[in-house]
Copies of this chain bind each other. A is one copy, B any other.
Amino acid sequence: MSRYTYNTKQKTLIMSLLEKEKEAPLSCDSIVAMLVSEGTPVGKTTVYRFLENLAAKGEVRKFVDSHSKTATFQLVDKSLNCAEHMHLRCVDCGRIVHLGCEFMSEVGTHIFEHHGFTVDNSKTVILGKCENCKE
């Protein structure tokens, strides 16, 4: 494992894409495609590796679609304290909602006390459809 990290233009490019599209998660392929069409291509290996690193450091959240099996990544907004609440994700548009409200914070407690489970907020994603995508 590397002990230092260098700043490279590839990392900067990927990062700024993630920042620009922070509403919904991006797949590695779409990042590669976007960078190509911006005239600043980055090798797909680099994209996979960098996103996996960010996910390991908790700077990015990784989702896996159960049908396509494609991984998608979204920047974690540190000011939101995402480790403390669950998330909702629209199966159609990918939009994420942070469930930081009072009521939802009781859910973890309830599950622990009544069902003997310790919920892992970083892995749990409640799936459904948002208002816009409801048919």
Chain A residues within CB distance 8 Å of chain B: 62-64, 66, 69, 71, 86, 88, 90-91, 97, 99, 101, 103-104, 107, 110-111, 114-120, 123-131, 134
Identical subunits present: 2
A98 to chain B, nearest CB (A): 9
Q: Given A91-B120, A120-B91, A123-B66, does the pair A99, B128 have CB atoms closer than 8 Å?
A: no
Question: Among the listed B62, B115, B116, which residue makes an inter-chain contact with A66, where contact means beta carbons less than 8 Å apart?
Answer: B62
Within 8 Å CB of A71, what residues of B?
66
Contacts A/B (CB < 8 Å), 16 sampled: A63-B66, A64-B66, A66-B123, A88-B111, A88-B117, A97-B117, A103-B110, A104-B110, A104-B111, A111-B128, A116-B131, A117-B128, A118-B129, A119-B127, A119-B128, A120-B128
Residue of B nearest to A68 (CB): B64
